[in-house]
Chains A and B, each alone.
Chain A
Amino acid sequence: MVVVQRRELTFWERIYLPEIFRGLAITFKKMFEPRVTRQYPEEALPTNEVTRGQPRLVVKDDGNIACVSCGLCEAACPAYAITIDSQETERFIEREPERFEIDMLRCILCGFCEEACPKEAIFMSDELELANTTRQGLVYDMKQLERPASTLKPRIDYVRRINDRW
């Protein structure tokens, strides 16, 4: 057991008003200093290729999804946010996802999926906003996750650059 010894207040502290005026003086001073808070959402946060936002799937320039549903992101995901089912395709790659879901409520934006992907098919986008009225609405399906490769280009280049260093 620890006995906490309360400090005795001084006379000036006990009469209260001087401290109140001191606080108000600080507030008044700050009114003439530059603002540091941001008027979100009117004023959005700046993002760049290093931003680790929500994961998104790459749609290649030929219109096909880059994912071959190998399941490595599903296995790497520490939050068990990803669920994939595969199907056969006539394309050369033979295999593509039939269902690709990310439960955005579970996703912790760790980027492991991006790192695990052998096909450059999933990347952390700069999209950060997440709102819905139901939980199920935040389980994103393939259509909601797909983004053209051009949108994700800066991030793709950045990740390639990082990987080259290894």
Chain B
Amino acid sequence: MSDLTKQTPADPSTIERVEITVNGQTVQARTDKPLIQACIQAGVEVPHYCYHPGLTPEGSCRICQVEVQQGKMPARVMVACRTPVMPGMVVNTETEGAHDARRECLEFLLKNHPLDCPICDKAGECTLQDYSFTEGQGEGRSVEPRRKLEKRKDLGDVILLDQERCILCTRCVRFMDEVPKTPQLCVAGRGSHSTIETWNDTPLSGNYQGNLADVCPVGALTLKSFRFKARVWNLTKTASSCGECSRGCATTVEVLRKGEVTRIRPRHDEDVNGWWMCDTGRFALDAFSLADRLVGTLLPSASRGWDATSVENGLQIASDMLTTGDKPLLIASPWLTQEEGGELLALGQTISARVAFVSTASNDLADDVLHTGDPGPNRRGLSDLGLEALTAEEILHTASEHSTVLCIGERVARLLGKGEAEGFNSLPPSARVLLFDCELPDAPTEGNSPIDIAIGLPSSVERVGHWVNIDGLRRNILQARPAPAGVWNTLRLLKYLHELLTNREVQS
């Protein structure tokens, strides 16, 4: 991962600090960071557009001007994001001069800016709105018509560019250059004719395009998939972690009106993902869709359909199945949290079962930015706990040696499906198959589904727990919305089942 996104160098003792004053407050400021970071450290918010803590500072927008006085020099207004920290600096962000400089700068930024807020997807989290409100002058003085540019410029599958809204901060250009290191954007034209372009209108490519919509401080670069989906103030935001690979990037899961997950965005975590995340994780919204969820307990009926019953009943039946016959096989999905994995292991010991998890095959998405290519978010945690790692093929192969197979966890049926052609449905018909998953796998085209009982589970946006990522770091997941009615929390379900099984063991 790019060193630029690291706030702390490998050896923190190498950080040099000097004493400066910010708004009358003494701060031990780092010399390897621009002045704006010292202000932030002092709890003073300095408006900024082109400065992004994860990118090289550029100093093109001039909104971050503050008054700096040093030595015998008279106080001067200068940009905080490109000024190095020097010992004895006296910084004041609230003087009339600084306010004037910022207000004038905003007037120019807004000179050609369209009055698009009502239709702009950025509205509500747009710093141009915020700073116009706190620093702006309320009314423009220019009488010339605004510049007319392209408003729906297609930049590939992910991003749409509105050139009129762009304030030419070049964050997007620097992001492409520095983070995925695939320079694709540039500022074309000069002066008031400058626009953001791709070379020869080539569509953008790569697995990190979604971040452009986050780095853009205004609504110029927006996600096509989020276009007009929601107003941002209607989204309920929950800090969580991404489960699409074993990196476990810190994310914010945003849910619209207690229903569907509408957007997933990266959250700053210095040790794991910096400020970014990949598009695979960002657009994995279908995985949390509320349509076609497995709710309650389903038992196969005589007519190849399903009979529904309560979860308590289902667990009673499941405990019968698990205690008859020889050594059962318990298959966990790598989406199971540490807490759930531990409970499953304890349960397995009670009934002396073989406990394994699906060791997912790598996909070809690995890169040297973030994606590890391993789609199992808790592979490391589950193997540390002591669960056996088995590939889908191995599981389908050994399943015939067991009379009962319990598959538990989000996507577990789908993961088995990837191994062999028939996948999950090719589990031996002789074995009793218990499936605890978020959804039912597609029924086989011919013959009966191998499932003897299916119980619905919450998905990873509906429960609490933690995964352990590829580097052994704890990745917390939090509940972003309640699970559908009739779905039990996985941990509660496992504990309940464990109790039933313990009682049975004691009786026999």
Residues of A within 8 A of B (CB): 68-72, 74-75, 86-88, 93-95, 118-119
Contact = CB atoms under 8 A, between A and B. Distances in A.
A87 B119 CA distance: 11
B227 A88 contact: yes
A160 to B, nearest CB: 18
Contact of A74 (B151, B229, B231): B231
Nearest to A121: B118
A88 B118 contact: no
A87 B151 CA distance: 16
A56 to B, nearest CB: 19
B119 A118 contact: no
A68 B118 CA distance: 7
A94 B234 contact: no
Interface residues of B, number: 12
Nearest to B123: A70
Contacts of A72: 118
Interface in B157-178: none
Contacts of A69: 228
A88 B117 contact: no
Interface in B232-260: 233-234
A66 to B, nearest CB: 11
B117 A86 contact: no
B146 interface: no
A74 B389 CA distance: 51
Given A86-B228, A87-B228, A88-B228, A70 B118 contact: yes
A72 B119 CA distance: 11
Nearest to B152: A94
Given A68-B118, A93-B119, 13 more contacts: A70-B117, A70-B123, A71-B231, A72-B118, A75-B231, A88-B228, A94-B151, A95-B118, A95-B119, A95-B228, A118-B117, A118-B118, A119-B118
Contacts of B231: 70-71, 74-75
Interface in B59-117: 117
B233 A75 contact: yes
A87 B229 CA distance: 8
Contacts of B227: 88
14 contacts: A70-B117, A70-B119, A71-B231, A71-B233, A71-B234, A75-B231, A75-B233, A86-B228, A87-B228, A88-B227, A93-B119, A94-B152, A95-B118, A95-B119
Contacts of A118: 117-118
A119 B119 CA distance: 11
A70 B152 CA distance: 18
Nearest to A88: B228
A76 to B, nearest CB: 11
* B119, B123, B227, B233 — most chain A CB neighbours (10 Å): B119
Contacts of A119: 118
B380 to A, nearest CB: 41
Contacts of B123: 70
B481 to A, nearest CB: 18
A71 to B, nearest CB: 4
Nearest to A98: B228
Interface string B395-435: 00000000000000000000000000000000000000000
Nearest to A92: B151
